[in-house]
Structure 1
């Protein structure tokens, strides 16, 4: 594609060089530059792409997009007002506006995004519809799965993924849409058919500063949809969003348990084997069963069923599609062990998520609940004592440990969690090394006890200061059992 075609609809402030150059690839990562590439310089929280221009040229870049006054000989330099804002359009131009050809479904909210997208995909598969998936755990373009590095990829990567999905004959693209991606414009130039709101609880306030900003970031998704917006009517912020988007020319479908909604769950039964409820829609009723226990699981199933309802999928297919999904990696995942106690791995890393999983376990636990958890470094500090209090209130014993401390002192993070636990009467211990913390939990566990390993979920690593180490809790548990624990 010629550079001039690539820059179509982009407001160019100035340029020097040849706009008729043939461009064979685009990237914002200088390490991925190859021959005849356009290198897009964007400023991130830790680095600035403008600092890597020489490296990009050495690797074969023939054109550079900047938002600073920069000149280089031998390459075309194009200056725009904001390169990050221009990047989604450039990506869409290069890959042929692929989201126009996909039925794109976006799911946003603090909790439940991953499981809801998996449920939607499972229903679509049951309906014999081919769907790609983008989210926190992985990216599935149809023929291959790629480990995900962030909930929602950068805009150029998204357009490439959509292009690959179409090449693999996907009809649908189901994706998690993070508040960061909406705020940074990563999903600009994405045409969504359906938007889904799960809930809004405390998380990422280090970035958004307050709940209003956090909600407004999520709300942006519902101005990008064409067919329907699906909103949790039991969530206070969901009801506020409904008020703001009600005048849009896009139908709103609400779902809920406690408040009147278009699609509801009634006659709910929850035990350690899962959930069962009656799905009530404007057109039909049917029984839904899932092997993932907890009230939060009912909400996830309602959200996915609402999407399927909008898409005209019949009730039998919806029921079967939900039932087919036995578990989602790192989401209320029960390990298969030859032990008298159980170990559950869950990604809960925010107050509401931790409270949800502990309440779910409390509903069916016959023995003690032993909770092992920590909080991530370089993230919302305000939630740490809150999570400590939740763990102490809903557990019988708590082991406070490290999560991903990143650049922070892990002992300081633990001390902040302790502030919350100390307001409860729960017994606890602090063991900074996460493997040793899990070891201690397994050593003290008795018959019928449940050990909850919270915070890591699907992650197979730990981020410690300037290094990343392998840390898959499934592997750690297996190693400890082999040690005789």
Structure 2
């Protein structure tokens, strides 16, 4: 597979289809039942970000938690937008901005119509693709990459939309969200259709479902991995979090596939659901699971039609479930799962239990685990591979769920032998306060049951300290950022790649270091 190149315009308007059918504002207004103000004009695109506006766009000025998007309308119009979609409050503000004559569509809740409107403007691209949606707390990225490996092995052109970015053939577009906002998502799907991509494996976040980012997207498959504590800064509680995830199973997906190894998954099951389990009877299940010395797994898959040998090179028992789910998705997409099992078994996902191997006599792993269940799962996966000490570097992100910080500290302190608490992406919060919350959780563990607990705010120094501490037979786990190539400090994103830092630390100690792929 050719290494994807970052699209040159990824930080501007993002990828856009080469051709769109101009649509009149009056026609679009009738479609969504909007009031219309100003003259009728034609639009050829849509954007909810003034920084991503293209010439001829309809600018969606949405109400926000702290500010109204209408205040960005002047910048959007200067960038080439020709009309505005907004709510009554935004329409009233247009006059104050001396923009009363700008063509506008006015609806009570513009976000509620944004997905369908974006799909309409870009020709409902999902109808020309097989969109395979995956939701859940953990495993979305791994599952989509495993699905892509199977699709490529079957000779099916594929794309990915998710946390790592958007892969459209040989182009990688970085996006600020796991699931892009509806205008960008529909434009990207239209690009994939233009490029003759057949299938798109898409991570579908709870934010995207609740905020309508995937409205207007028709899914061939909707799949669920699991649910554990995360995003409770956005959702009121776990029930609300689950209700958002469950929106993928409201009929928008033609086929529904669910891992039933937790109570949340079992709640989604209907008579037509395809079930997946590593623990119980299901349409897709695994037996004879064997963990190899390098952490990879081998097992037997029992599907609806046949059984076959399979495996996953990414350590962790939870990745058996992710692999089973990938096989179920592939099968529902018309792929012979048994035929592509060898390709799935060798697939590696960036920043997911990614080994940095050289001639050092200890294991070094970088993982994206950034929630309590993910941290526990990573430690449980690595413990059997560790003859000596399990050394962990862990931080928590700022401006996110504060409640999970002490929980993550406690889980880490119980599961490893040396815990180095450091910074993740502090964003606009004081890094020391984030570390203090984690340390409080870690120190709540009785000393006889707890790891040695250290604090090092500088993440690079924390990683160097962990690597320097490692002895033959130890394991070093750098958790929390995984694939990320930047660190957000005070709103400024600084270049930072855990894998590269680990590799450099190993080399400074005289070891060779490569990434196991």
TM-score under structure 2 length normalisation:
0.89
Structure 2 unaligned blocks of 5 or more: 1-21, 511-517
Equivalent in the alignment of 1:405: 426
Equivalent in the alignment of 2:120: 93
Q: Kindly indicate whether residue 456 of structure 2 is the aligned counterpart of residue 436 of structure 1.
A: no
Contact 1:268 1:276 in 2 (8 A): yes
Contact 2:356 2:503 in 1 (8 A): no
Secondary structure at the residue paired with 2:358?
coil
Equivalent in the alignment of 1:386: 407
Equivalent in the alignment of 1:206: 233
Equivalent in the alignment of 2:14: none
Equivalent in the alignment of 1:178: 205
Q: Kindly indicate whether residue 421 of structure 2 is the aligned counterpart of residue 396 of structure 1.
A: no
Contact 1:272 1:293 in 2 (8 A): no
Secondary structure at the residue paired with 1:335?
strand
Q: Deviations over 1:165-207 (max 9, x none)?
A: 1111111111000000000010111111111100000101121
CA distance in 1, matches of 2:69, 2:394: 36
Contact 1:191 1:224 in 2 (8 A): no
Q: Which moved more, 1:291-300 or 1:111-120?
A: 291-300
Equivalent in the alignment of 1:372: 393
Q: Kindly indicate whether residue 169 of structure 2 is the aligned counterpart of residue 146 of structure 1.
A: no
When residues 63 and 304 of structure 1 are mapped into structure 2, their CA distance, relative to the original with a 3 A threshold, is: same
CA distance in 2, matches of 1:414, 1:229: 40
Contact 2:134 2:140 in 1 (8 A): yes
Secondary structure at the residue paired with 2:378?
helix
Secondary structure at the residue paired with 1:205?
coil
Contact 1:341 1:448 in 2 (8 A): yes
Secondary structure at the residue paired with 2:192?
helix
Match of 2:325 among 297, 303, 315: 303
- Deviation of 1:120 (Å): 0.8
Superposed, 1:257-276 pairs within 5 Å as 257-273=278-294, 274-276=296-298
- Deviation of 1:138 (Å): 1.6
Contact 1:193 1:226 in 2 (8 A): yes
Secondary structure at the residue paired with 2:360?
coil
Q: Which moved more, 1:156-165 or 1:307-316?
A: 307-316
Q: Deviations over 1:387-442 (max 9, x none)?
A: 11211111111101111111211111111111222214321111111111111111
Q: Which moved more, 1:124-133 or 1:296-305?
A: 124-133
Contact 1:8 1:93 in 2 (8 A): no
Superposed, 1:186-335 pairs within 5 Å as 186-242=213-269, 246=270, 251-273=272-294, 274-325=296-347, 327-335=348-356
Match of 1:66 among 70, 73, 86: 86
Equivalent in the alignment of 1:39: 59
CA distance in 2, matches of 1:77, 1:384: 44
Q: Kindly indicate whether residue 487 of structure 2 is the aligned counterpart of residue 457 of structure 1.
A: no
- Deviation of 1:46 (Å): 4.7
- Deviation of 1:365 (Å): 1.2
Structure 1 unaligned blocks of 5 or more: none
- Deviation of 1:227 (Å): 2.9
Contact 1:199 1:232 in 2 (8 A): yes
Secondary structure at the residue paired with 1:229?
strand
When residues 32 and 480 of structure 1 are mapped into structure 2, their CA distance, relative to the original with a 3 A threshold, is: same
Give the aligned length.
476
RMSD of aligned residue pairs (Cα, Å): 1.6
Match of 1:82 among 99, 105, 109: 109
When residues 57 and 308 of structure 1 are mapped into structure 2, their CA distance, relative to the original with a 3 A threshold, is: closer
- Deviation of 1:281 (Å): 1.4
When residues 25 and 432 of structure 1 are mapped into structure 2, their CA distance, relative to the original with a 3 A threshold, is: same
CA distance in 2, matches of 1:432, 1:421: 16
Q: Kindly indicate whether residue 365 of structure 2 is the aligned counterpart of residue 344 of structure 1.
A: yes
- Deviation of 1:482 (Å): 4.8
Q: Deviations over 1:314-338 (max 9, x none)?
A: 243231231241x100000001333
